[in-house]
Amino acid sequence: MNNINMTLYGLVFIILLTFIYFKKEKIHYVENDVYSLLIISSFLGCILELISFICVSNGATENDMLYILSIKLLFSNFLLWISLFTLYFVVITLNKDDKTSKKIILYSLLSLVLLALFVSLLPIDFKKTTNGLLLPMGLSVNVIYFLCSICIVMIVLLIFFNFKKLKNKKYWPLFIILISFSFMIVIQNIYPDILLVNPTAVLITFIMYFTIENPDIKMIQQLNIARDQADKANRAKTEFLSNMSHEIRTPLNAIVGFSNLLLEDDEVPEKSKDEVRDIVMASDNLLEIVNGILDISKIESNKIEIVNEEYNFKKVTQELITLAKGRIGEKPLEFRTNIDETIPAVLCGDSQRIKQICVNILTNAIKYTKEGWIEFKVSHIEKDGICRLIISVEDTGIGIKEANINKLFNKFERLDMRDNTTIEGTGLGLAITKKLVDLMGGKIIVQSIYGKGSKFTISLDQKIVMNPTIKVEEEIPKNHAETIKVANQKVLIVDDNKINLKVAERLLESYGIESESVESGEECLNKIKGGNSYNLILMDDMMPKMSGTEAFHELEKIPGFNTPVIALTANALTGEKEKYLAAGFNDYLAKPINKEELNRIINTYLNHE
Ligand code: ADP
């Protein structure tokens, strides 16, 4: 009676499972097909077992045709079930996209059904047990046991050869299932009257649903795979862009470097200098485009981090004013500044990003204003230790049509292109600005009257630093634009690119600095180990065999070595500077070399007049 109860429970469960599984929306995998057949086989098993029980309870003998048929089919069905279970292992270890794997499965299924039918035709005997049950025996049963053993050996071998793959794919419940299945076979052999085979098959089918075959779990797994693939593609894109930026910056360094040198050369006629100035301007634009594309791609892949540090607010505004004045140049524009003097001296926030935001809107105001004035205003509101900066840039420029205001922050969106064709730009500046402001939890608003002018206002909350660790006075920038003269100082330049070595040599020469060049990290090490001494080393990073960073670490190991080493590199993504400083470099100089930055380095590390 207990046996029939188990079968009935099994039947109810399997009917429920069939209903849930086939009704549920799922991603289609080949193993799902095999699992569907496993469910059907479990269902058939319950029905056949039930028929055989009914026959026995109605007093069936070993000659009863219906009983013999139901038992034969029950055993054949079990053979089918365990073969499908083996096939499931085969499928999950095969490459799913492979068309041949689908063919293999189809042929295996056909052969299995034929085999099961063949086995059911073999003769069967029965043995009466002490409790009156009829136990099937004979050739048919022996063949089935033999084939089942082969299946189990196959499964074990599949697990053995694909252990890593199965473990990584979270198929571990199958291991537990297999162990319990083997355990069941042992019990079945010791106590033949319990008839555990079919209930175990149902139980396993059931457990599989709640562990590895659940459509919801599979859907989540698929989503995870899709997300991983998207992340991978994004990483590849960022890597490609950063390599491209490096490749563009390297030749640009020669263009900008030599152009700047030509501008300072008294022998170059004024007419040619005008053309050189155009080369510098075009290179600056190209650099801005490369930087913009890199920034937007970093923002989109969530790679931009806001680094909150103490900074001197006055220093930031002064740098911005100097920069804006420089960009206005000869343009007939009045530059008005209105900086609130009561803004706390030291704030905590990402000053580099704040500068980038302000540079973008100041540059736009300068670009899109032919005449009149531009006002750069910063005011603030203080509350609970927070300083809300209100930064605005107003201009008397071309203005923006009302209908276009909403499009302003879309990337690559440039407005009124018919009128503005002569103004250089990529349409990335404001998209980056908006994303940065959002990342910092601030707000940006635009007011504009077409033909009259525009006003961009940004509000950003910054923490007030009461006991600053930075020295406020020293933070005020020196004027780095002035030409410095240096005497009796020797600099070693390390770069595998000959043209870039020449650029650096010529630039240093213009300061009166003596320089020596080597083309690899090894040569640099040999120079230092050979007793040569320098006041400064400019070190490129991306070099074959030994990178600049590796060479720098080797230099550090040399006893008594204390020459400042500057990373001079075309790896100029935001965050790269911090990476080089963290590696121990004294400072960082991006390629193409910016004259003001070079002035700053020389000011800081070399003795000058
Ligand atoms: P771009 O590189 O084209 O300047 P931005 O994203 O910085 O890209 O600006 C997008 C567009 O917004 C510009 O092409 C321009 O049409 C408009 N714009 C931005 N700032 C101003 C301004 N101060 N005055 C007028 N139009 C502006």
Interval 546-568: pLDDT, tens? 999 999 999 999 998 999 999 99
Which ligand 1 atom minimizes the distance to the CA of 415?
16
Contacts for 195 with CB less than 8 Å, ≥ 6 apart: 3, 6, 49, 188
Q: Which two tokens stand for residue 416?
A: 């009124």
Ligand 1 and 425: CB distance under 6 A: yes
Q: Which two tokens stand for residue 134?
A: 């009829």
Ligand 1 and 429: CB distance under 6 A: yes
Q: Distance between CA 590 and CA 339 in Å, rounded?
A: 30
Mutation test residue for ligand 1: of 396, 407, 408, 450, the one with most atoms within 8 Å of CB: 408
208 and 274 both lie in a single domain: no
Q: Judge whether 552 lies within some domain.
A: yes
Q: Judge whether 544 lies within some domain.
A: yes
Q: Which two tokens stand for residue 13?
A: 């469960």
Q: What is the 282 CA–ligand 1 centroid distance (Å)? A: 19
Q: Judge whether 95 lies within some domain.
A: yes
Nearest CA owner, ligand 1 atom 4: 425
Q: Distance between CA 265 and CA 472 in Å, rounded?
A: 38
Ligand 1 and 521: CB distance under 6 A: no
Which ligand 1 atom minimizes the distance to the CA of 411?
6
Q: For 509-533, b where at least 16 C-beta lie within 10 A, e where not — what string?
A: eebebebebbbbbeebbebbeeeee
6 and 145 both lie in a single domain: yes
What distance, in Å, lies between the first and last C-alpha atoms of the chain?
A: 107
CATH number of the domain residue 449 falls in? 3.30.565.10
229 and 202 both lie in a single domain: no
368 and 444 both lie in a single domain: yes
Ligand 1 and 416: CB distance under 6 A: yes
Ligand 1 and 400: CB distance under 6 A: yes
Query: In the prediction, which pLDDT does 551 show?
Result: 95
What's the domain range around 33? Answer: 2-213
Ligand 1 and 415: CB distance under 6 A: yes
Q: Judge whether 57 lies within some domain.
A: yes
Question: Which residue is it, tokens 């086939």?
Answer: 22
Query: In the prediction, which pLDDT does 436 show?
Result: 93
Q: Looking at the DSSP assignment, which residues form a beta bridge with residue 568?
A: 589
Query: In the prediction, which pLDDT does 1 show?
Result: 45
- Positions in the chain short of pLDDT 50: 1, 476
Ranges of H-type helices in 413-535: 429-439, 472-475, 498-509, 521-529
Q: Distance between CA 117 and CA 301 in Å, rounded?
A: 58
Could you tell me if 116 and 151 are in contact, meaning their C-beta atoms sit under 8 angstroms apart? no
Ligand 1 and 201: CB distance under 6 A: no
Ligand 1 and 368: CB distance under 6 A: yes
Number of domains forming the structure of the chain = 4
38 and 106 both lie in a single domain: yes
Q: Judge whether 179 lies within some domain.
A: yes
76 and 165 both lie in a single domain: yes
424 and 569 both lie in a single domain: no
Ligand 1 and 344: CB distance under 6 A: no
Q: Distance between CA 423 and CA 427 in Å, rounded?
A: 11
Q: Which two tokens stand for residue 390?
A: 């209100």
CATH number of the domain residue 102 falls in? 1.20.1070.10
Q: Distance between CA 384 and CA 566 in Å, rounded?
A: 41
Mutation test residue for ligand 1: of 359, 370, 416, 430, the one with most atoms within 8 Å of CB: 430
Query: In the prediction, which pLDDT does 517 show?
Result: 95
Query: In the prediction, which pLDDT does 23 show?
Result: 87
Q: What is the 255 CA–ligand 1 centroid distance (Å)? A: 28
Q: Which of 300, 324, 359 is the last residue of a domain?
A: 300
Torsional sign, CA 346, 593, 511, 514: positive
User: pTM higher than 0.75 for the full model?
Assistant: no
Q: What is the 439 CA–ligand 1 centroid distance (Å)? A: 21
Q: Judge whether 533 lies within some domain.
A: yes
Q: What is the 455 CA–ligand 1 centroid distance (Å)? A: 12
Q: Judge whether 219 lies within some domain.
A: no
Q: Judge whether 473 lies within some domain.
A: no
503 and 571 both lie in a single domain: yes
pLDDT tens-digit profile of 249-287? Answer: 888 889 988 998 898 888 888 888 888 888 888 888 788
Nearest CA owner, ligand 1 atom 18: 364
Q: Which of 448, 464, 480 is the last residue of a domain?
A: 464
106 and 141 both lie in a single domain: yes
CATH number of the domain residue 252 falls in? 1.10.287
CATH number of the domain residue 540 falls in? 3.40.50.2300
119 and 38 both lie in a single domain: yes
Q: Which of 449, 464, 479 is the last residue of a domain?
A: 464
Name all contacts of 560-563 with Cβ < 8 Å and 24+ positions apart. 561/528, 563/528, 563/533, 563/534, 563/535, 563/536, 563/537
Q: Distance between CA 553 and CA 564 in Å, rounded?
A: 13
194 and 315 both lie in a single domain: no
Q: What is the 469 CA–ligand 1 centroid distance (Å)? A: 39
Which ligand 1 atom minimizes the distance to the CA of 292?
2
59 and 104 both lie in a single domain: yes
